[in-house]
Structure 1
Amino acid sequence: MASLSFVSSSHHLTLRTPPLTLRKTSSPRTSVSFSVKAQSVALSQDDLKKLAAEKAVEAIKPGMVLGLGTGSTAAFAVDQIGKLLASGQLHDIVGIPTSKRTEEQARSLGIPLVALDTHPRIDLAIDGADEVDPNLDLVKGRGGALLREKMVEAVAEKFIVVADDTKLVKGLGGSGLAMPVEVVQFCWKFNLIRLRDLFKEFGCDAKLRVGGDGEAYVTDNSNYIIDLYFKEPLKDGFAAGREIGKLEGVVEHGLFLGMATSVIIAGKNGVEVMSK
C-alpha cells in the first residue's frame, strides 16, 4: 500500500490585476486579480460568487463545447451563459451538464445540451469546488455530482474553478468537512469499513451520506456516497486517490488532482485569479 501522510503549510491570498489567461503547463501557479470597486454596501458572499462566475464566463467563445458544473457557485455561471445567449452576445455553443439539476437549469435557460457520447472533446468546463489547495488541487462532490463532474472535467481542455475564499485550504481534507467517495449500493457497509480502515492511523471517520428524509442519499447514477472526514490535511492526495480507487465497489472519489487550469477565488476584498 502506498504511504499516506498529512502536512500543513501556510497560504496567503493576494490581490492584484485583470485578465484571465488559461493554459495547461507544469509550471508553478501564478496569481492575477481584479478588485471590486468600493461599495456603499458590502457585497454578500453570493454577490462575490456571482462576480467570480461572471469572470469565468468571459473565457467562453462562440463555437465552444462547455462543461456545465453543479452547485451554488456554478449555477451563477450557468445563469450568466443563459443570459448571454438570450441577448445574442454569445452564440454557437453547446453544454454538457454534470448533474440532473444542472441539466434542468440549462434547459430552462435555453442552453443547447449534448452528451459526451457525441462530443467527447470539451473546450472549457466551469465548476465550483469544496476545497482548493495551493497547488490548485481540489476536493469536489459534496453536492453529490462527483462522478459526472470528473467524467466531464477530466476531458476538458481548460477547467476553470470558481469558489469563495472559505474553500481555500492548506492541504486537501484540511477543512474537516466531507471528502466524498461514490460507491455501489451492494455491500456499501463493507466499503465504508475498508475506507475508514485505509486511513485509520490518521483518525479518519467515514459515514454514509443521508438525505433530508433520513434515507441513504442516492446519486444521479444510483450509487451511495461515503463521506470521509480527516482530522488533518492530506500530504499526498495522489497516493490517497490511488489507494481509494483500488477498492472494488468504489466508483469514484472527490479528489480532483492536476485538473484545474485556473481558479477564481471570491473574497471580501475582491476576486483573485490563480492559474497554472
Structure 2
Amino acid sequence: MSVETDPAKIMKQQVGVAAAARVQSGSIVGLGTGSTTAYAIQALGDRLKSGDLKDIKGVPTSFQAIVLARRYGIPLVTLDEIDHIDVAIDGADEVDPHKNLIKGGGAAHTQEKIVDSLANQFIVVVDSGKLVEHLGSTFLLPVEVIPMAVTPVMRAIVKLGGKPELRMGIKKAGPVVTDQGNLVIDVKFDRIDNPADLEKTLNNIPGVLENGLFVGVTDLVLVGEIKDGQPSIREF
C-alpha cells in the first residue's frame, strides 16, 4: 500500500485497513464507494496478494468499486450469482448516535443500500467529522430521481419542508448522472427528527428511486480520529 504522509489520509487509510482486517477467507464482501472505502478495497487486495486472505468474492456498489476491485485483484460477482453477503464495508457522509446514516455524496446510494442491507454484517468506515447529533445537520440528503420526474418530485419535497437542489456535475456540463442513468436532488432539511419515517415518505413519491437515509442497517462503525497528531481508531 502506498505510504501516506497527510494525517487525515493516514487516518482514512488506517480505518479502511481495520475494516478489511475483519474480513475472513471464503467471504462474500460488499464493496462500498468513496475515499475511505477505497483504502479498504486496496487493503483486501493486499491481503489476497500476500496469501493472508483466500477465496473472497466482491459485490460492487458502483463503477468506482468495480474499477478498484479489478485494480487490486478482487474477483467480482453479481447478486444473481449469490444467496448471501457475509460483510459489507462502506463509508457515510453522516452518522447519528443510533448508527443511522446519510449516504450518497458519491451518488451511489441506491446500489449501496441494496448491497449494505443484504449483508449479515455492515461495517461503516468514517472519520470523526462525520459524527452528528441529528442527521441533516451538516450534509444535504441525496434523493435519486428518474429524469422525467425531477420537477414534480422537487415540488413534493418542498411540501415536506425540504429545500431541494439538482446536483450539478464538476468537470461535466449539466447535472450529475448516476450509474443507473438518473439524477440526484440534494435536499436541505433543518433537522431530520424521524429518519425512518422520512426515508419511507420520500421513497413513496412517484419518480423517486431511492434516498440516502440508511436506518437500522449499520452493525458497526469504525471511526478514525486524530489525537495529539496521531491517527487512532475506535468502534461504536
Q: Work out whether the TM-score is over 0.5.
A: yes
Instruction: Give the root-mean-square deviation of aligned CA atoms.
Output: 1.2
Higher relative contact order (CA 8 A, sep 6+): 1
Task: Return the offset for 1:43.
Answer: 6.1
Task: Return the offset for 1:187.
Answer: 2.8
- Bigger-Rg structure (1/2): 1
Alpha-carbon distance between aligned partners in 2 of 1:207 and 1:262, rounded to the nearest angstrom: 32
| In the alignment, structure 1 residue 163 sits paired with structure 2 residue 126 | yes
Alpha-carbon distance between aligned partners in 1 of 2:198 and 2:58, rounded to the nearest angstrom: 32
Structure 1: segments with no counterpart, 5+ residues: 1-41
The superposition leaves residues 39-66 of structure 1 with CA deviations (integer Å, 9 ceiling, x where unpaired) of xxx9611111111111111111011000
How many pairs were matched up? 227
The superposition leaves residues 151-203 of structure 1 with CA deviations (integer Å, 9 ceiling, x where unpaired) of 1011000000000011010011111x22100010113111112112212xxxx
The letter of the residue matching 2:183 is Y
Residue 247 of structure 1 is matched in structure 2 by: 205
Residue 153 of structure 2 is matched in structure 1 by: 191
| In the alignment, structure 1 residue 206 sits paired with structure 2 residue 164 | yes
Which portions of structure 1, spanning 4 or more consecutive aligned residues, are displaced by more than 3 angstroms?
Answer: none
Alpha-carbon distance between aligned partners in 2 of 1:253 and 1:120, rounded to the nearest angstrom: 25
The letter of the residue matching 1:134 is P
| Selected match of 1:180 from 128, 142, 145 | 142
Alpha-carbon distance between aligned partners in 2 of 1:49 and 1:221, rounded to the nearest angstrom: 28
Q: Pick which of 109-118 and 187-196 moved more.
A: 187-196
Residue 267 of structure 1 is matched in structure 2 by: 225
Q: Pick which of 255-264 and 181-190 moved more.
A: 181-190
Residue 3 of structure 1 is matched in structure 2 by: none
| Selected match of 1:217 from 167, 176, 179 | 176
Residue 115 of structure 1 is matched in structure 2 by: 78
Higher helix share: 2
The superposition leaves residues 211-241 of structure 1 with CA deviations (integer Å, 9 ceiling, x where unpaired) of 022401110000111100123x211101111
| Selected match of 1:73 from 11, 28, 36 | 36
- Tell me if the contact between 1:49 and 1:164 (Cα under 8 Å) persists in the aligned partners: yes
- Tell me if the contact between 1:206 and 1:227 (Cα under 8 Å) persists in the aligned partners: yes
- Tell me if the contact between 1:43 and 1:268 (Cα under 8 Å) persists in the aligned partners: no
| In the alignment, structure 1 residue 140 sits paired with structure 2 residue 103 | yes
Structure 1 134/109 Cα, relative in aligned 2: closer, same or farther at 3 Å? Answer: same
Alpha-carbon distance between aligned partners in 1 of 2:151 and 2:40, rounded to the nearest angstrom: 37
Alpha-carbon distance between aligned partners in 2 of 1:52 and 1:139, rounded to the nearest angstrom: 19
| Selected match of 2:117 from 154, 165, 170 | 154
TM-score after normalising by structure 1: 0.80
Q: Pick which of 70-79 and 178-187 moved more.
A: 178-187
The superposition leaves residues 7-64 of structure 1 with CA deviations (integer Å, 9 ceiling, x where unpaired) of xxxxxxxxxxxxxxxxxxxxxxxxxxxxxxxxxxx96111111111111111110110
TM-score after normalising by structure 2: 0.93
Q: Pick which of 210-219 and 96-105 moved more.
A: 210-219
